[in-house]
Amino acid sequence: MKKTLLPLALLASSSAFAADYTDGDTHKNDYKWMQGNLMYAVNELPGESDHDYLELEFGGRAGILDYYGYADVFNLASSESSDKDGADKIFIKFAPRISLDGLTGKDLSFGPVEEVYFATLFNWSGGDDSVNNSFWGIGSDVMVPWLGKVGLNLYGLYDLNEKEWNGYQISTNWFKPFYFFDNGSFISYQGYIDYQFGYDDDFDALYSDNGGAMFNGIYWHSERYSVGYGLKAFKDAYALVDGGLAGKTTGLTHYFAVTYKF
């Protein structure tokens, strides 16, 4: 492999860094990355929407802060024929986690758990009638056979529009390079699971008491580019009941992506 791509592959697999901060050096594992993704979704749920969007995605580590996020801009040409015409133009997700190992200076690892975090997640998309929520809880990095280091977080959901707590979410994510070419590029299996439960479904024509999604992506990566396909399986997407006022919320969505890495 090229020397420039070897650290990328190790970082992508999330298995390169130890969680031991007992020496007081909380910045020894610092890194950062950013990339732009040109995306197209087919039959995205809810609503079975086909649309384009541009995504600015970033992540990294800065001392005790582990962070990930992205900003999506939909319907780039503002086409009146787009399924996203008249909808919220922008969606932002930001997921900062604070390392409790780094904060306390103690090694809190046990068994397959390599690091423990105070975990948060924020989703913003617009005004009071749009998605605006936050999640607060405990997070971890867990070693899983074959996949390597996997993020695993359990949150309580605080609805920023309604100003109330409502249910829980368990989330996990992974990035596993599994095939390497002679030129240093590689193919990865990457994805995540978000599952909400304990949701208050008092308006049962719209909400379910649980729901979630699983994204499974196969991507080719080089030093500066990637191309990939993702299949996302929804079950009562965003705790919206299938066949209710939100329409179809259970099924499969296809995603196609071309990426430039800054």
Print pLDDT tens along the chain (262 aa): 444 444 444 444 444 455 678 888 899 889 999 999 999 999 999 888 899 999 999 999 999 999 999 999 998 988 777 777 667 889 999 999 999 999 999 999 999 999 999 999 999 987 667 889 999 999 999 999 999 999 999 999 999 988 999 999 999 999 999 999 999 999 999 999 999 999 886 666 788 889 999 999 999 999 999 999 999 999 999 888 898 888 899 999 999 999 999 9
**Residue 111 CB: number of other CB atoms within 10 A?**
7
Which two structure tokens, joined as six digits, stand for 153?
């977080």
**Taking the CA of residue 76 as centre, how many other CA atoms within 13 Å lie in the half-sphere pointing to its CB?**
9
Which two structure tokens, joined as six digits, stand for 36?
């732009």
> How far is residue 132 from each of residues 14, 15, 208, measured CA to CA in Å?
29, 33, 18
What's the alpha-carbon Rg for the chain, to the nearest Å?
A: 19
User: Is the CB of residue 126 less than 8 Å from the CB of residue 90?
Assistant: yes
Strand partners, 66: 61, 97
Which two structure tokens, joined as six digits, stand for 94?
């930001």
Closest alpha carbon to 221 in 37, 83, 95: 37
Strand partners, 181: none
**What pTM, to 2 d.p., does this model score?**
0.90
Buried b / exposed e along 185-214 (16+ C-beta atoms within 10 A):
bbbbbbbbbbbbeebebeeeeebbbbbbbe
